Every structure is written in structure tokens, then in C-alpha cells.
Structure 1
Amino acid sequence: MFDPSTWDAPLALVVSALFVIVMLRANATYWLGRGIAAGARRTRLVRLMESRHYATGERWLNRWGAPAVSVSFLTVGIQTMVNLAAGATRMPLRRYLPAVTVGCIMWAFLYGTVGMIGFRAIGLLWARSPWWVLALALVVAAVAFAIVRKRDVARPEAVEPAAH
């Protein structure tokens, strides 16, 4: 299982490994966006660019530019779409690379420290009772669903009409 909290390594090595992993993933997403912009819009990949998360990522880029890339690494669910939008809009590498590097450093430190506490807490709870972990997951899923549902009801234009 991929659990960095079980790695027998100093924190600097764990954070460095996480940095490399997220840097590779973020740049792969950027280049996927470049590929989509270069012609993949005629394939099934176009669905990514029609998603609500992609639209949010593109709005962030249009509003804040390169700093949106860095800040996106402090979110869940938006960072991939911001990187994809950065590639699709052909953000110059001289702006993208520094921004993604800062974001990856923040992400690696966040997950290498606070994130590991979360891994350990879930592991300890699982050792006591897997049912508690499952119950907690259901509560988190229910809250997330309620938040998304409430947001969709508050903004009816965000809900797509049913196909007839």
C-alpha cells in the first residue's frame, strides 16, 4: 500500500519523494492540456474540458494567472483542472514552471506533515474498529453531497437540463 507514513525515512526524504510524485503528475496534466489544445478536442478527452471543475480551473487562471496554479495545490479537486487549463490555454513554461514548483513544494510539505497525521489517525482508528472508519467515510461523503447539492440548488444555472 502507498502510505508514506510507513516509510522508514527522514521527513526531508519523504517530502522530497512526495514533491517528485506531485511534480510529475502536475506536469503530465499540463502536457495533457497542451495535447488537448493541439487537437485532442475531437476525441473523448474533450469531456474533461466540459466539466464543471475544468470551468472553475479556467476561471481561476483567467482571474489570477500563474498564482492560481500555486494556490490550486491547497485545494482538493481543482488542482488537476487548473493544471489542465494551464496546458490547454498554453500558459508559457516560464510562468507555469515556477508556479507549479511552488505549488508542489506546498503540497509536499502539507501531505508530508499534516497529511501523515491524517494517515496515522485513520490507521489507528481502523485498528480499533474498521466500522468507525467506514462510518466516518459515510459522514464525510454525506456532508460533501449536501454541500454540493445545496450549491447546485442555489445556482440553478449550474445544473444541466435533462436530455430529452
Structure 2
Amino acid sequence: MSFDSILELPLGWAYLTLFVVVMLRANATYWVGRLIVAGGRRSPKIERFLDGPTMARAEKFSRRWGVLAVPLSFLTIGIQTAVNLSAGALRMPLSRYLPAVTLGCMIWALIYSTVGLAAIQAVFLALAASPWALVALAVAVAILLGVRRFQKRASAAVAPEQDRAGQG
């Protein structure tokens, strides 16, 4: 069954089919990551991949976003597999991984069964064609990063106060 034939199915069946396929693939990737780290013989090709730039980006992405890296990776192109592999390699607990990967797979299946990659590419092309759209996107990203930084600083300031309160 090809991707195009899946998209010819009624929406519910297309969504369900894509969800099952991506869920199987993502979980298989997670378990491959766990097996690679558990030992066994590694080929030079696997070693190059594990030490390569894609895994480095995935690990940086995972360190920054924590467990949210898993569902967020389904919105990216190029590091989704590496994030799932690194989640396995880092032995992310299944109690965290399974809800995160399920959410990511649901999002991915929704995108691909409805608007698909063509719509996502159209958005990027529109952004590239309009300097104002790029400015708006940059402002939105700057606001999100500012809010995230503010939240981190606020939580870091609260932590010492909670420690002092617990010692009294």
C-alpha cells in the first residue's frame, strides 16, 4: 500500500492507518536505540550515525525540550528518527515515552492525513516570499523564547525560596 493509496481512503481510515504506521515505526526506532546502547556489535556505519550531526542535533533538541522533544520532533523534518532513537539510547522511561510518542504520532497522522506535506511546504514558501511574514514569524519566535526564558528565571528564583521554607 503506497502513501497515495492511504490518502485515497476515507479521512478516518487514512488517519488511523498513518497513526498505526508511524506509531510502529517510532517505537521500533526507540527500541533500536535501547538495543544499540545495551551493547552488541556496532557497525562503522551505525557508529558514524550515532556520532554524526543528526544525532548531535537530536540530543541538543532533547536536552532543551526534555520529554516534549518527542512529540515536537514530529513537527520537524530531519531529526524525528534521531530523537526517537536517542530517547531509547538515553533509556527514557516508557511511562514518559509512550504518552509523548502517542501525542506526536497523533499530530503527525493528523497533518499527513489532512493537509499533508504540500501544505507545510506552501507555508514555508509563503514565508520565504514575503519579508513581512518572515518578520512576523521572527517576532513570534522571539516572544516565545522570551516567555520561556522568563519562566525559567521565575522558576529558578522560586526554587531557593522553597528550599529555605522547607528548612525552617
Same topology, TM > 0.5: yes
> One-letter code of the match for 2:27?
N
The alpha-carbon deviation at position 5 of structure 1 amounts to 5.3
Q: Aligned pair in 2 of structure 1 residues 30, 6: CA closer, same or farther (>3 Å)?
A: closer
RMSD of aligned alpha carbons: 2.0
What secondary structure sits across from 2:75 in the alignment? Answer: coil
Alignment match, 2:80: 79
- State the partner residue of 1:21: 21
Q: Percent identity?
A: 55
Note the 1:1-164 alignment, pairs <5 A: 2-4=2-4, 8-40=8-40, 42-44=42-44, 45-115=46-116, 118=118
Q: Distance in 1 between matches of 2:106 and 2:14?
A: 12
Deviation (angstroms), 1:6: 6.1
Give 1:60 shift: 1.4
Shift of 1:10: 1.5
Q: CA deviation at 1:4?
A: 3.5
**Distance in 1, Cα, partners of 2:87 & 2:7:** 33
Do the aligned partners of 2:8 and 2:14 also contact (CA within 8 Å) in 1? no
Per-residue CA deviation, residues 89-142 of structure 1 (Å, 9 max, x unaligned), is: 0000000000000000000000001117x39xxxxxxxxxxxxxxxxxxxxxxx
Q: TM-score, normalising length from structure 1? A: 0.66
Letter paired with 2:25: R
Task: State the alpha-carbon separation in 2 of the partners of residues 6 and 57 from structure 1.
Answer: 29
Give the whole-Å Cα distance in 1 for the aligned partners of 2:115 and 2:40: 38
The structure in which a higher percent of residues are helix is: 2
Unaligned runs of 5+ in 1: 120-164
Letter paired with 2:103: V
Distance 1:112 1:89 in 2: 31
Larger C-alpha radius of gyration, 1 or 2? 2
Moved more, 43-52 or 28-37: 43-52
CA distance in 2, matches of 1:41, 1:95: 28
